[in-house]
Structure 1
Amino acid sequence: MSSASNEPSPTPAAPPRRRLSREERLRQLLDISWTVIRDEGTDALTLGRLAERAGVTKPVVYDHFGTREGLLTALYRDFDARQTATMTAALEAGAPTAADRARIIAACYVDCVAAQGREIPGVLAALAGSPELAALKRDYQRAFLATCRQLLGPFAPGGDLPAAGLWAMLGAADALSDAAVAGDLTTAEAQAELRRILLDLIARGAAGAGG
């Protein structure tokens, strides 16, 4: 009768790590960048620090962003893309009325800024004076105002919204969102006031339109 072997069973080999696609790696690096800003502040976010936190070599990070300014610009693009996606999904699920659209636009705008906390202001401050960011930010602002005009204009007298009123609304939206982040207003208060501003803008309609 043979005796059983006392040798330990071989340990199964760990499965090889899957190589991330370029898009997956970019998403990972952006997520880690937001974490670094949240944990350590914007000044701590360098390409070298990002590589260290992500566990990759510096050339990988440089390949995606080129410079620190390129990284910060990518973070701003990422923030705007998420804000747009959130608002689009909410609008598709909402009622096609002026009141509901104003409510959704106000809620999504304030919520997205509040969710990013103090991170996005830090990114914008770090990029202050950057011509590329100034142009990018203005493009995004114009796109947002065009969306508001398209969604809310048909409910206004004359079927349009005044351009000056739209820009004033955007300034108020940023100020209210910043106040909510700082704790000077609750998120609900900021959203309610922005909703009222939007409804007032609709009520004015094309009487002040132009440009």
Structure 2
Amino acid sequence: MLRLSGISLVELTITMAISTTLVLFSAMGAATISKELGYFQQQLVLQSELRLISHSLSLQLQRAGYVARPFEEIFANSALLPPAINISHHPLEVENSCVLFSYDKNADGDISHENPAELLGFRLRDKALEYRVASKSCEQGGWHDLTDASELHVTQFTISLHGEVNHASVYKVKLAVQSKASAQLTAEQHLHIRVANAI
């Protein structure tokens, strides 16, 4: 007797249902992996931005108070060396969220008040970290944004005198940022910056 081979309509329907389910689960898995990968990439970008900000802060603050004069001359006349660091805040921000400092950038032996490039500072203002422009005080406007508020929010920036190591002041800086795209994406860092020229 001749036998016909093939599959029935019921078997075909079951096979298609199983295949569709497998494709659906694969697509959902791919979407989840893609979402997690995007989140991870955003976290890396945030951490990288925080490292760049921290490096800039550390590099500038370590130089605070430097004047290109022989130590003996400065020691004999301490008026030659201005206060290295002044900590304050903008009236609408938390205490210790602004730091003003200066150093002899052009190594001419003086910190010139006519040269704004030698009068530096950082402050927290409107969820952005700003740097000082044209000798502005912590309370004045006209500072320049160091961070891009459309990309991230600076949720914390404070600085305080932490102690002393080998006759040099050590300042503690607390810095925290949050992604504008997702409130769950955050990063923070605590820095200890040794300022050898601070008085």
Does TM-score exceed 0.5, indicating one fold?
no
Higher helix content, 1 or 2: 1
Q: Larger radius of gyration, structure 1 or 2?
A: 2
Please, what TM-score do these two structures have when normalized by structure 1? 0.28
Please, what TM-score do these two structures have when normalized by structure 2? 0.29
Higher strand content, 1 or 2: 2
